[in-house]
A = this chain, B = another copy of it.
């Protein structure tokens, strides 16, 4: 059995060099952790919902938060509704809507979720520094 490095498969199937190839060889590795809490088929809490909560906190309404994330109002509303339905007590509180829709802010539960989630990301990275170091050392500089 003749074994060659994986590059040899190029003789069978040789796509154009991917556009990202240059960026890949020059940039430094950047590590990101993402935690998802699933309940059945639904991601009750994940990076998208936490980004959205932070955007609501910053912009003061679901519609402005959605715009800042380049997301439709409908999608943002559904994500927040899904999150609130999965919680014992909701993460957001909405002002009674006028013509342009009301404002929305985080409840103490919402603030706590954001803080805990960002804490988890930082702590996970710290706890796995050794393995992450080993992995990045296997990569091209």
* Assembled-state Cα–Cα distance A136/B86 (Å): 10
Considering the chains assembled together, what is the distance between the CA atoms of A29 and B42 in angstroms?
Answer: 10
Are A139 and B24 in contact, CB atoms less than 8 angstroms apart? no
Which range contains the number of A residues in contact with the other chain?
Answer: 35 or more
Q: Does A68 contact B (CB under 8 A)?
A: no
User: In the assembly, what is the distance between CA of A11 and CA of B95, in Å?
Assistant: 12
Chain A contacts with B in 58-99, Cβ cutoff 8 A: 62, 73-74, 77-78, 80-82, 84-97
Number of copies: 2
Give 23 A-B contacts (CB < 8 Å), ordered by A residue.
A2-B95, A3-B94, A3-B95, A5-B90, A6-B93, A6-B94, A9-B101, A18-B78, A19-B41, A20-B42, A23-B39, A23-B42, A24-B85, A27-B40, A29-B37, A29-B38, A30-B39, A32-B35, A39-B139, A88-B138, A116-B131, A116-B135, A119-B128
Chain B residues with Cβ below 8 Å from A117 are 131, 135
